[in-house]
């Protein structure tokens, strides 16, 4: 039985109750039944027939040699089998699961009412994850940011969520799509999101070959999307070693189409779509039955991953992408937007290379500046306006600070002839205001 919720390995989690008691132990007959069933499925459906036979033979030989005889825990057995089915060609999509509750739920879905109930559970699972759209916002410098943790199949609700996210970001000056925690999903969501990055003329994204049907299918950008297209916007895609499957396809597509700059780590290396097959009443196997064929490279990222343009540790990728985006925008900016980009760049550069200010100098800044107060506490400088909250200051330079928690506001210390005379409040709209220090103080050496 083939159960394809997502073509590229991103499965809905079953909402069936998880058994609290330890499952019944394996018997020798069940071990043989599981191995025989998985072997048959692999020989019949694995994308590369000869490899499928080789994996099958490998399992049968290990069983014949008694490698599994001592395993009575079904969960341990599924983990060992997952390692063994990957041993021949390290296809990371291949996996065996112990899933008796989920199998029972699927097998008992025989009436229209059962199907509707399952669909409702799947829909609720998508809603709880907001269909992968975890964070959508504008960063300093009018940089759009989308944190996408999964490519859900484009149902009506998932499609509406994607459309809302892309339209929210439609006025950004550059776009960062964060796939560092994205384990895969459906080509249909790839198709929808990518369509916002091109004009109405269709662009060939990918071709898929499926062995069971001996079928080739293609995905293209859509001729129509609700809202605003942005074929002109610079796109940056963040990757990690955990970026996998459909998330890799999205990255690989845009890289080879020269539509995005990839920043981060080499991705996981899984390019074979497929689906979950029921092996027995307690075990399933996820079988890659197809392969991606990129229209430009005529190959895919299986086993190698997708190479980023700029390789940096995943936890640094966002900051690097923001800096690259701002620097590129500055190159073509006019006077109206230049200040906004420069403002953002100063903060990003300070985050990449933190500024250290001598404690004596910080202490000398402490004092009253009209309605504003700077205080020095435990080696840190704090800012507070009368009747408002206190905020820790982070140094952008030895005399320039940002207040953590106040967006678009910075403080510049005014110094004349070695004396601290006041401070200037700076705003990201270009405005500023000044306050004299109640009592001038000399800078401490």
Q: In terms of domains, do 328 and 380 share one?
A: no
**Domain that residue 259 falls in:** 1-353
Number of neighbours of residue 162 by Cβ within 10 angstroms = 25
Given a cut of 50, is residue 16 above it in pLDDT? no
The span from the CA of 407 to the CA of 404, in Å, is: 8
Is 245 in the same domain as 269? yes
Where does the pLDDT of residue 10 fall: very low under 50, low under 70, confident under 90, or very high at 90 and above? Answer: very low
pLDDT band at 82 (very low <50, low <70, confident <90, very high): very high
Residue predicted with more confidence, 160 or 332: 160
pLDDT digits (tens, 9 = 90+) for 201-213: 999 999 999 999 8
Q: Choose the weakest-confidence range: 97-111, 283-297, 399-413.
A: 97-111
State the average pLDDT over residues 178-187: 97
Same domain as 363, residue 331: no
What was the pLDDT predicted at 6? 43
- Give the residue from 353, 379, 394 where a domain finishes: 353
> Rounded mean pLDDT of the chain?
92
Same domain, 158 and 62: yes
Dihedral angle at the C-alpha atoms of 259, 182, 288, 281, nearest 10 degrees? -160
Q: What is the mean pLDDT of residues 119-129?
A: 89
The continuous run of DSSP H or E covering 342 comes out as helix 335-352
User: What CATH number does the domain containing 103 carry?
Assistant: 3.90.226.10
Q: Which residues of 229-264 are buried (b: 16+ CB within 10 A; e: fewer)?
A: bbeebbbbbbbbeebbbbbbbbbbbbbebebbbbbb
Question: Which of 331, 353, 375 corresponds to the end of one domain?
Answer: 353
299-326 average pLDDT score: 98
What was the pLDDT predicted at 7?
A: 41
pLDDT band at 12 (very low <50, low <70, confident <90, very high): very low
CA angle 147, 151, 153 (to 5 degrees): 145
CA distances from 75 to 24, 25, 26 (A): 11, 10, 10
Distance, in Å, from the CA atom of 361 to the CA atom of 367, rounded to the nearest integer, reads 12
* CATH number reported for the structural domain that contains residue 416 in this entry: 2.40.128
| Domain count of the fold of the chain | 2
Terminal CA-CA length for the chain: 77
Same-domain status, 299 and 214 = yes
Confidence of residue 153 (pLDDT cuts 50, 70, 90): very high
Q: Are residues 384 and 264 in the same domain?
A: no
Question: Which ranges constitute the DSSP H helices of 23-139?
Answer: 28-45, 49-64, 74-85, 100-107, 112-128
Do 120 and 169 reside in the same domain of the chain? yes
Residues in the chain, overall count? 445
User: Using alpha carbons only, how large is the chain's radius of gyration in Å?
Assistant: 28
Encoding tokens for residue 203? 């662009």
Same domain, yes or no: 246 and 220? yes
- Half-sphere exposure for 301 (CA within 13 Å, toward CB): 28
Q: Taking a C-beta distance cutoff of 8 angstroms, is the pair 239, 265 a contact?
A: yes
Judgement on whether residues 337 and 384 belong to the same structural domain of the protein: no
Pair 334, 398 in one domain: no
Q: Where are the alpha helices (DSSP H) in 65-111?
A: 74-85, 100-107
Confidence of residue 15 (pLDDT cuts 50, 70, 90): very low
Residues 313 and 398 in one domain: no
Dist CA 92 CA 330 (whole Å): 42
Domain boundary residue among 317, 338, 353? Answer: 353
Residues 425 and 287 in one domain: no
Q: Give the largest Cα separation in the chain, rounded.
A: 90
């Amino acid at each position: 039985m083939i159960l394809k919720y997502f073509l590229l390995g991103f499965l809905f989690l079953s909402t069936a109750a998880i058994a609290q008691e330890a499952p019944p132990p394996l018997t020798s007959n069940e071990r043989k039944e599981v191995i025989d069933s998985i072997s048959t499925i692999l020989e019949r459906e694995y994308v590369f027939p000869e490899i499928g036979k080789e994996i099958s033979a490998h399992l049968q030989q290990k069983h014949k040699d008694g490698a599994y005889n001592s395993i009575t825990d079904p969960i341990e057995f599924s983990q060992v089998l997952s390692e063994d089915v990957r041993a021949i060609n390290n296809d990371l999509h291949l996996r065996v699961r112990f899933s008796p509750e989920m199998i029972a739920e699927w097998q008992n879905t025989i009436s229209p009412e059962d199907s509707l109930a399952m669909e409702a559970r799947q829909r609720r699972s998508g809603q709880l994850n907001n269909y992968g759209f975890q964070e959508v916002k504008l960063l300093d410098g009018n940089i759009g940011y989308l944190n996408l943790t999964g490519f859900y199949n484009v149902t009506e609700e998932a499609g509406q969520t994607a459309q809302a996210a892309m339209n929210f970001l439609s006025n950004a000056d550059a776009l960062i799509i964060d796939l560092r925690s994205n384990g895969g999903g459906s080509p249909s969501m790839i198709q929808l999101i990518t369509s916002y990055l091109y004009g109405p003329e269709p662009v060939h994204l990918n071709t898929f070959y499926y062995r069971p049907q001996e079928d080739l299918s293609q995905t293209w950008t859509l001729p129509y999307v609700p809202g605003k297209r942005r074929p002109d916007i610079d796109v940056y895609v963040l990757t990690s070693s955990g970026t996998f499957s459909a998330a890799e396809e999205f990255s690989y597509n845009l890289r080879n189409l020269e539509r995005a700059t990839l920043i981060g780590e080499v991705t996981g290396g899984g390019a074979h779509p497929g689906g979950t097959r029921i092996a027995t009443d307690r075990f399933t196997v996820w079988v890659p039955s197809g392969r991606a064929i990129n229209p430009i490279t005529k190959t895919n990222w299986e086993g190698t991953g997708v190479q980023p343009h700029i390789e940096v540790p995943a936890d640094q990728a966002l900051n690097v992408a923001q800096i690259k985006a701002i620097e590129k925008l500055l190159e073509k900016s006019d006077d109206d937007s230049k200040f906004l980009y420069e403002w953002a760049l100063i903060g990003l550069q300070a985050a990449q290379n933190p500024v250290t200010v001598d404690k004596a100098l910080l202490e000398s800044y402490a004092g009253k500046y009209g309605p504003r107060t700077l205080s020095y506490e435990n080696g840190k400088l704090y800012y507070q306006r009368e009747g408002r909250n206190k905020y820790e200051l982070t140094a952008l330079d030895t005399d320039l600070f940002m207040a953590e928690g106040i967006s678009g506001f910075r403080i510049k210390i005014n110094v004349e002839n070695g004396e601290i005379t006041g401070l200037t409040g700076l705003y990201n709209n270009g405005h500023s205001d000044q306050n004299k220090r109640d009592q001038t103080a000399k800078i401490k050496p």
